[in-house]
Structure 1
Amino acid sequence: MALVERIPALLRERTFRRYWTGQTISLVGDQISLIAIPLAAVLILGADAAAMGWLKTAELLPALLLNLPLGAWADRQAHRRRAMIAADLGRAGLMLTLPVAYALDALTLGQLYVVAFGIGALTVLFEVCNVTLLVALVPTDRYVQANSLVNGSRSTAWLAGPGIGGILVQVLTAPLALIADALSYVLSAGYLARIKPVEPPPAPVAKGHFTEGLRWVLRERSMRALFASSGTVQFFNYMFHTLFVLYVTTELGIGAGLLGLILAAGAVGGLIGAVCSGAVVRRIGIGASLVVGFLGFTLPLLLIPLASGPLPLVVAVLFVAEFLSCVGVMIVDIAAGSFQMALIPDAVRARVMGAYRTLNHGFRPLGALAGGLLGTAIGLHPTLWIATGGAVLAVLWLLPSPLPRMRELPAREEESAPVGAA
């Protein structure tokens, strides 16, 4: 009995447990493909830097182009769960084309680009529907716990997925390792098929339906502040990550093995952040948790351009920076996700999240481009100072808003009249 009581309340509920189990399996599969697809491009097809750039672009482009229209589409649907199942099965089918083509000696870079784009598009569809389904599964007082469990699964996937993927690639070759990811999508679809949540009704189509989510983000003061902070972090963080591997390997002398361990420390920090986030929110409130999370995410990264001296000291500093930063990012992700679940009305939820993600994803390529240009013009070390310092300043967008003083989650709005309705 004591052991059962230690299990989070949501995991003792069959419907949420099935949903969470499917998501956890799928997230691990995603991490396998994250290492297996690039390795297939490099090891099997001899891809060069330009080809790898096109592959990454094909993967990221759907998030930028499709979040807004698919969010508008999802809000008009009565059965979003069915769309998620179809997206899972579609991703499995696309993924399976790669090992089949490899077995037939017909695998090409063009096929990798098409599959990367197609999986990215179906992932966008899955996610814009998922934001509404999760709300239908979870009562308001358990939003933080639900986000903690889902983000804990994500951290576990970050920790275990690359290792599993590396072993599968070594044993099976990169294309055949992707069968495991395809299977994870099938299992996710199976678990979704076994739940029957009461989904919110579809939103009526009115004038301005397509752009309503974008306008909602921009006019809602708290959401606007959260978007500005998140967008600023996205810009500077992608500037940072564009140069991080190059900097630590060429200027700090960190080898690939040590770098992997440092990144694993970040995954452990993320898992701990997911576990303790609920206690943080209960202790200091949802608004203060957002502020603490943003600072906890960005401040430790200042240690990276500060790191110098003997190699053991440099490695220790990088371990601490990655660990603490990933604790912070989990707190801010869980607090922000819970806040958005409570604040956004069901009738516009998919459109709002589609618009929010479109805007945020738009900062990523801009940050990466700025990082590359500045790194070339002024050097890696000064650019890292700009990137990490700029990210810390993102919290300033939150301070004038109502968010820092918000103790509890906002009361949910059940209905939202369309903006264009008379």
Structure 2
Amino acid sequence: MLSVKASDGAGPLRNHDFRLLLAGASVSQIGAQVTLVALPLVAVVELEASPLQAGMLTAAETGAFLIVGLPAGAWVDRMRRLPVLVRADVVRAVAMASLPLAAWAEVLTMTQLYAVALVTGLATVFFDIAHQSYLPVLLPREQLVAGNGALETARSSAQVAGPGLGGALVQALGAPFALMADAVGYLLSAFFLRGIRAHEERPEPVVGVSLRAQVGEGLAFVLRHPVLRVIACATAVSNFFTAMLMAVQTVFLVRVLGLPPGVIGLMMSAAAVGGLAGALCAGVLSRAVGQARVIWLSTVVTGPFALLWPLAGRGAAAAWFALATAAVFFGGVVYNVAQVSFRQMLCPPELLGRMNATLRFLVWGTMPLGAVVGGAVAGTAGPRDAVWLCAAGILLVPVPLLLSPLRRMRDLPAPAGTVTP
């Protein structure tokens, strides 16, 4: 059993262990955002990758969720979560540090980029599943929305500062050497996480239950719940087309809009302001309009801004791309805070890893497919047509939500309740 600290009426930031979790998330996210700029630039500028190769790189980063996404949840449920987090950070740090070393030795290739993307992706699968499952260990139920909001604020703040820093580092040091910031971020995250003192009992060994049966329990829990099922569907659609955009945006910004690395970093930082605003507003909006209503409303209101992506042009018209991403990220973060908090409140502790793994498998498993499709479309029809397809796809995200019981609800049901209008 997991021991959850009782609430004393204070907010999550008064919790020493949560502050360490938040600090680790902050430094690792800054490094990850530097990589968001630098890694595609290594491929596109340094190694002259084609649009399809750029898409394959994005697919390698997210493909791990298809490979080990489901069994990873069952494995995490058999282990204490904190050691999993620390080990995943160390693996990612070592893998990422290999890239600037290879560049210094002048032996860096696309094959190594693919391998590092896959290894860091595998470690990220375990980290993300354990991370979402570990928060209820540190915080009582009534603080989960505030805790997730703080983590999203840290992530969005990193998205504001990280890409600009990444663009500056790429211009000053070159794209491969800028990646060392990510390795340092992962090591610092591991250092902070090791300072957490909360007691987490080792899960009791499962006797007579196979790994396959445990995976099936997680799948059944998600697919039989009407709210979780529709959240999985909408998020999978969103991630498919977001991955398409991730795969082609560097090619689009460099070869169509003609932007240098420093400006690309600033563009991504400006876009991330929307995510930070969404994290800061998520709790207020959930209380004002209802946690159920805000899930579909956030996608309906902000999705149409995606049409500004392909309308961006050279010069000042490039700002349309940043504005569109800011608006879409705002809606996406509000959506995520509401639905992730609900999932954590709903799920029994012993199923948290498998529930999160199942959701990750279903919604992140579409990302490598989207990345490959994006690279293929950009390579045949051109980057701008691929971005048009991404924008059109984002408009489809609210459809399953609007056709579900969520549209008739203000708030989400209590953990033991049923879905009723």
The 5-angstrom pairing of residues 71-110 of structure 1 reads 71-77=73-79, 79-110=80-111
Give unmatched runs, 5+ long, in structure 1: 1-7, 414-422
Matched, 1:347 2:350: yes
**Cα deviation 1:71-123 (Å, max 9, x = unaligned):** 1100111x110111111122222223333444445544433332222111111
Deviation, structure 1 residue 127: 1.0
The answer as to whether partners of 2:293 and 2:407 remain within 8 angstroms in 1 is yes
The answer as to whether partners of 2:54 and 2:375 remain within 8 angstroms in 1 is no
Deviation, structure 1 residue 172: 3.7
Q: Which residue in the other structure is 2:144 paired with? A: 143
Q: Which residue in the other structure is 1:417 paired with? A: none
The answer as to whether partners of 1:217 and 1:356 remain within 8 angstroms in 2 is yes
CA distance in 2, matches of 1:300, 1:180: 32
Query: What is the one-letter code of the residue matched to 2:84?
Result: A
Distance 1:33 1:308, change over 3 A: closer
CA distance in 1, matches of 2:384, 2:67: 33
CA distance in 2, matches of 1:27, 1:327: 18
Deviation, structure 1 residue 126: 0.9
The answer as to whether partners of 1:152 and 1:275 remain within 8 angstroms in 2 is yes
The 5-angstrom pairing of residues 245-260 of structure 1 reads 255=259
Distance 1:318 1:353, change over 3 A: same
Which is higher, the Rg of structure 1 or of structure 2?
1
The answer as to whether partners of 2:99 and 2:113 remain within 8 angstroms in 1 is yes
The answer as to whether partners of 1:304 and 1:317 remain within 8 angstroms in 2 is yes
The 5-angstrom pairing of residues 302-341 of structure 1 reads 302-304=307-309, 307=311, 314=317, 317-341=320-344
CA distance in 1, matches of 2:297, 2:350: 31
Q: Which residue in the other structure is 2:69 paired with? A: 67
3-state secondary structure, aligned to 2:365? helix
Deviation, structure 1 residue 183: 1.9
**Cα deviation 1:4-27 (Å, max 9, x = unaligned):** xxxx93223211111101110011
Deviation, structure 1 residue 302: 3.2
Name the TM-score, length of structure 2 as normaliser.
0.82
The answer as to whether partners of 1:28 and 1:158 remain within 8 angstroms in 2 is yes
Distance 1:185 1:249, change over 3 A: closer
Name the TM-score, length of structure 1 as normaliser.
0.82
2:36 aligns with one of 34, 37, 42 = 34
Query: What is the one-letter code of the residue matched to 1:16?
Result: F
The 5-angstrom pairing of residues 174-185 of structure 1 reads 174-185=175-186
CA distance in 2, matches of 1:147, 1:230: 18
3-state secondary structure, aligned to 1:65? helix
Query: What is the one-letter code of the residue matched to 1:65?
Result: I
The answer as to whether partners of 1:342 and 1:410 remain within 8 angstroms in 2 is no
1:272 aligns with one of 253, 274, 277 = 277
Distance 1:320 1:92, change over 3 A: closer
The answer as to whether partners of 2:293 and 2:411 remain within 8 angstroms in 1 is no
Deviation, structure 1 residue 250: 7.6
Query: What is the one-letter code of the residue matched to 1:349?
Result: L
**Cα deviation 1:164-205 (Å, max 9, x = unaligned):** 223333444444333322221121111111112243763736
CA distance in 1, matches of 2:374, 2:120: 27
**Cα deviation 1:363-395 (Å, max 9, x = unaligned):** 234444555666788887777666534433332
Q: Which residue in the other structure is 1:360 paired with? A: 363
Cα RMSD, aligned residues only: 3.3
Q: Which residue in the other structure is 1:187 paired with? A: 188
CA distance in 1, matches of 2:375, 2:115: 26
CA distance in 2, matches of 1:173, 1:189: 26
3-state secondary structure, aligned to 1:281? helix
CA distance in 2, matches of 1:373, 1:51: 9
Q: Which residue in the other structure is 2:130 paired with? A: 129
Deviation, structure 1 residue 217: 1.5
3-state secondary structure, aligned to 1:209? helix
Q: Which residue in the other structure is 1:420 paired with? A: none
